[in-house]
Structure formats: structure tokens, C-alpha cells
Structure 1
Amino acid sequence: MQVKNSKFYEVFETEGRTRKILTKNLVPGKSVYGEHLVSSGNFEYREWDPTRSKLCAFIMKGADQICLKPNDIVLYLGAASGTTASHVSDIVGKDGFVFAVDFAQRVVRDLIFLSEARPNIAPILADANHPESYAYLVTGVDFLYQDIAQPNQAEIFLKNIDIFLKHGGFAMLALKARSVDVTRKPKEIFEIVRRQLSERLTVIDARELGPFERDHCMFLCKKK
């Protein structure tokens, strides 16, 4: 399988009829969620599944940029068991760092096991709706990523950006419309949230993630 550079830092793709997205494995020989490992040249890569990662789905949907790069310090809200966080770990590399926040003890246990193999991930058991509870653990970050199914997703996103994201830093919100309001059409929710974010941030891109994720939209923003 031939692997080539993509237009994103440390994100790669395969040549051929079926496009696959990959990241260079920070821990060669180890998969995280059963993903296929690919050897090409002197490196090992991990296939990135867009049905299990909204960030990969965003790339597959034609994103022009993701604004995530090597050496970035990242705050990941809603890290769950670490599927996407592990690929973010690959991208930022050994000199970058990922603060991985989740409020569920079971998945934070998974994150602890993941961090044993990947020292650039720090699991934090906390509620992202209360950033003051982990402010003493997290430094200023270059990039913030949020994937939380709560009615006040946008408010949580903005609250954490205010506290942790450096000026000029970038942030992504994976918005689940049905968690905000099941009575409205997803497109209405996406437009309401876009306006809400635009009051405080520069919205660089917004893309719906179907068919990989139904009723989801990814917002890429920059802190003014």
C-alpha cells in the first residue's frame, strides 16, 4: 500500500481507488482500537476510521485545514476511550501534549492504559462544564477539541476557550444537533450555533459529517 503526504501536518493518505486516512504511529507495533497498521518505507501508520472519529470524518468530508500541528498542546474535551485522541497524539508527536478530559470513570480507565503507552496523553477525570475544577492541571493550549453530547455544548466550548485557549489558537466543536434540541431540524441548530460562535470567535469552516455521523456538524474556529 502506497502512503503519501496529505495537505495536513502529519496526516497521510493512501493512493488508489479507496482513499484511506492515516497517522504515523507514535508507538510502532501497537494499535489502539483494532485499526489496521500499515508499513510503508521506514514508518508504520495507523488507519483512521471516519465512522469512529469525527475529526477523521471532517477530513473525509473535504476539510481545507484542521489547524492541528506537531508540538501543539491540546485540550480534548470528551475524549472517551481515546480513539480520536490517539490520532491527535500521533499528530502532535512526542514534543506535543494532549490533556484528555472525560467525566466517565470507565473510559478514563481506558485513557490511563492508553497514556501508559503514549506519554504525551494526560487523562483527566472531570466535567467539562466546570473547567475551574481542572484549571490547576491544564496549561494554556494551542488547540481545543470538543466532542460532548450535552444540550449546552456551545456554552461549554466557549467557556473552556475563554480559560485555556491562547489568543490566535484554534478550536474544533463536533456538534451533535439531537443533543441540543430534538424538536428542531439539525440544520436549524447548526445555524443557531454558528451565529453564537461567530459572536466570540472567527468561524473558519463548518461541515456536516454525514454519512459518517448523522446530525453532526464540525466547526473549526479561531480565537480572536
Structure 2
Amino acid sequence: MRGGAKVAVTQHRHEGVYIARGKEDALCTKNMVPGESVYGEKRVSVENEGDKVEYRVWNPFRSKLGAGILGGLDSIWMKPGSKVLYLGAASGTTVSHVSDIVGPEGVVYAVEFSHRSGRDLVNMAKKRPNIVPIIEDARHPAKYRMIVGMVDCVFADVAQPDQARIVAINSHYFLKNEGHFVISIKANCIDSTVPAEAVFAREVKKLQEENFKPSEQLTLEPYERDHAIVVGGYRMPKKK
């Protein structure tokens, strides 16, 4: 995808997300650091009333959130100005797109346990002031409670057997009441002996027991096998 007259960029229904329409349509976000790629992704420049605006193509094969958006998620609960706690940030591929979405008014607290991935994350964050990299174990949110403020949304891609518990303990610390969560569940990481659908159902039940109210669930085929993404609210008001 190259920029110029051949590519038109239109707003996706999720605020802060765009579609570049060319020979092939592509999901993209507005680059907060024009001129810089994060993971070798293509960039598209578009003239907008005399100004050049640069967008980064978002590869759904490398991002569970990107796959979920293309799969038709109703809500991602992140938009310009949002505060997001991102658990399982890895080297920051998806984090960089979330950084683009929330923009300079928002913030992404990105938690990653691996020091090797964490190095890439920290280097990327140097150019993106709205990312706060936290190299800690997401199982112990008390260790970073002095750094993280209250957030609007918790996103989790931790691929751990106890990931529902990890999301719950972080949310109890940092997610505001009536905030939202987006969790990517990797079935064979939790239990490879039963069908993926059974694992997803069990994880959803665990979330419900922790004051989460799942509102949508979809599988990430064809981008990921045996993955589902679940979205919902936290400590939602009881219906009268």
C-alpha cells in the first residue's frame, strides 16, 4: 500500500481506527510518530487540506485486537483520550496501535513480564509519551500501583492458565466502576484437553464470578486458531 491519490482513508466505526481503501482495504491507525514504523508495518500518507497525515497499517495476523476489530467487535472501549491498562504488552505491536487510538490526551499503561520483550517496549515508548512501560509480573499489581492511575479499560493478552484471575486482580485495583475489559483467551494455553468452546465458556463464568459482565464474544478465526476475544463491563449497575 502506498499513499497518494490511489488510497483514501475513511473513519472506521470505532473512533481512532481507520480503513485505508486502495487495491486492498486495510485497517490502520493515525501514526502518532510520523515517519516511524514499529514492527515493519506499512505506512500510508494522505493529503488532507494541504497537510500530510500518516497512517500505519494494522496487521490482524500480529494483533488480537486488530483481528477482533476486523471480526466485527461492537465495542473496543478505547478511543481518543481513553486510559488503558494493557496486560501482556510483549514488544508493543498492538500497544503501539492503542497508543495511536488514545492519542496524546490518552495513556496506555503497558505491563510486560519478559525483560527481552520489555526492552523493545521501553525503546518504543521513548518516542510515544502516552505509553508507560511497566516491566513487572501482571499477577502482582500491587508492585505497580504507585505508577498506574484509574483506567477506563483493561485489555489482556497474557496467555496464562489463570488469566481470568490476573484480569480480575488488576481490575479490582485499577478499573473504574462501569469501566470495561477486553480479553483475548487462548484456549490451549488454559486447557488443551477439552474443546476450545468449553474453555471459553469456563473462562467467561470465572469472569462473571468476579463482577464482570461479558457482553460479546467472538472467535479470532482466520487470524488465530482457538482464540476468542471477550468484551464486557465491570461492576455495572444492577438493572432495576
TM-score by length of 1: 0.97
Deviations 1:47-86 (A, max 9, x none): 0000000000001111122111111111111100000000
User: Structure 1: where are the runs of 5+ without partners?
Assistant: none
Once residues 78 and 215 of structure 2 are traced to their aligned partners in structure 1, the CA distance between those partners, rounded to angstroms, is: 13
Matched, 1:190 2:196: no
Q: How far does residue 152 in structure 1 lie from its aligned partner after superposition?
A: 0.4
Give, in angstroms, the shift of residue 18 of structure 1: 3.1
- Of 180, 183, 187 in structure 2, the residue corresponding to residue 173 of structure 1 is 183
Query: Which residue pairs with 1:28 in the alignment?
Result: 34
Matched position secondary structure for 1:136: coil
Matches for 1:195-210 after TM superposition, within 5 Å: 195-199=205-209, 200-210=211-221
Q: CA deviation at 1:16?
A: 5.3
State the Cα deviation string for residues 80-129 of structure 1 (Å, max 9, x = none).
00000000000000111111111111111111110111011111111001
Match of 2:46 among 33, 37, 40: 40
- What's the secondary structure of 2:221's corresponding residue? coil
Q: Whole-Å Cα distance in 2 between the matches of residues 93 and 19 of structure 1?
A: 23
Instruction: Structure 2: state its 5+ residue gaps.
Output: 1-6, 236-240
Query: Residue deviations 1:186-224, cap 9 Å, x none?
Result: 010011112222332121211100110111110111112
Matched, 1:146 2:149: no
Aligned-pair identity (%): 44
Say yes or no: does 1:218 pair with 2:229: yes
1:98 corresponds, among 89, 108, 111, to 108
Aligned pair partner of 1:155 in 157, 160, 165: 165
Residues 1:51 and 2:61 aligned together: yes
Tell me which residue corresponds to 1:65: 75
Greater Rg, structure 1 or structure 2? Answer: 2
Instruction: Give the structure 1 partner of residue 86 of structure 2.
Output: 76
What's the offset of the Cα at 1:136?
1.5
Q: CA separation in 2, counterparts of 1:27 and 1:165?
A: 28
Query: What root-mean-square deviation, in Å, do the aligned CA atoms of Structure 1 and Structure 2 show?
Result: 1.1
1:2 aligns with 2:13: no
Q: How many residues align?
A: 224
- Which runs of structure 1 show a deviation greater than 4 angstroms over 4 or more consecutive aligned residues? none
Residue aligned with 1:220, SS: strand
**How far apart are the structure 2 equivalents of 1:63 and 1:166?**
22
Counterpart of 1:24 in structure 2: which amino acid? K
Q: Which amino acid aligns with 2:175?
A: L
Equivalent residue number for residue 140 of structure 2: 130
- Kindly indicate whether residue 95 of structure 2 is the aligned counterpart of residue 85 of structure 1: yes
Go from structure 1 to structure 2 and tell me whether the alpha carbon gap of 1:78 and 1:132 turns closer, same or farther (over 3 Å shift). Answer: same
Corresponding residue SS for 2:180:
strand
Q: TM-score, normalised by structure 2?
A: 0.90
